[in-house]
Structure 1
Amino acid sequence: MTQNPFDALGGGGFDMNALLQQAQQMQEQLQEAQQRLADSTVEGTVAGGAVTVTVNGVGELVGVAIKAGQFDGDDADDLSDLGDMVVAAYRDAKAQADAIASEALGPLAGGLPGGDAPGGLSGQLGF
């Protein structure tokens, strides 16, 4: 007896080619979304713009701008404050980048493990 075990599904068979094509399309969509994220940038600022950092849509730091005259380079406390402000500005920008990534990848990642947040996708998507 050579009955197709997938006949019970009601479609008369299982179309492996269609499944593979759908998986390839999803992979292409994920790659396109990842590239759009890498090409986009957001800024995080603190202290009224004294420190501004720029990150791309996947959270990589791509720039730091410090407003002239805001910090004394010879004062250890000012430099420590500056470091704290850079970190705070980065966290602000990273939160924005995560929101953009979640919006861009959410619909595409619905079926993936950990697909409900960009951080859960980092291993699968290469970010």
Structure 2
Amino acid sequence: MKTRFVISLVLLASTLVLMGCPRQTTINRLNGDPARYRGKEVLIVGTVTNSFGAAGFGAYELSDETGKIWVLTRRGAPSNGARVGAVGRYVQGINWSGRNYGSAIEETDRKVR
């Protein structure tokens, strides 16, 4: 009986954790259907191909097999070549430092591999 309770509790906790995590998508899907993702939290996994930052803010270009997208961060940008899982809100019409980047992800979390 106690074992059943523990298993049920673990399954419930796992389900709640997974429900709070965004599903991984591709850059091509984001850019191909921007209305579907606009303002929603997304997860993209890719390689950093360009990055810069100053005073604790930064931006980095993340590339996967399907395309590239800029990620805006409120902390230092990862190094070029780093494998990154970026979680954040998908936004369109980003203008930063006088350049228009079209669409981007406002980072809320990051995992470097």
TM-score, normalization by structure 1: 0.27
More strand, by proportion: 2
Please say which structure displays the higher CA radius of gyration. 1
Q: Normalised by the size of structure 2, how large is the TM-score?
A: 0.29
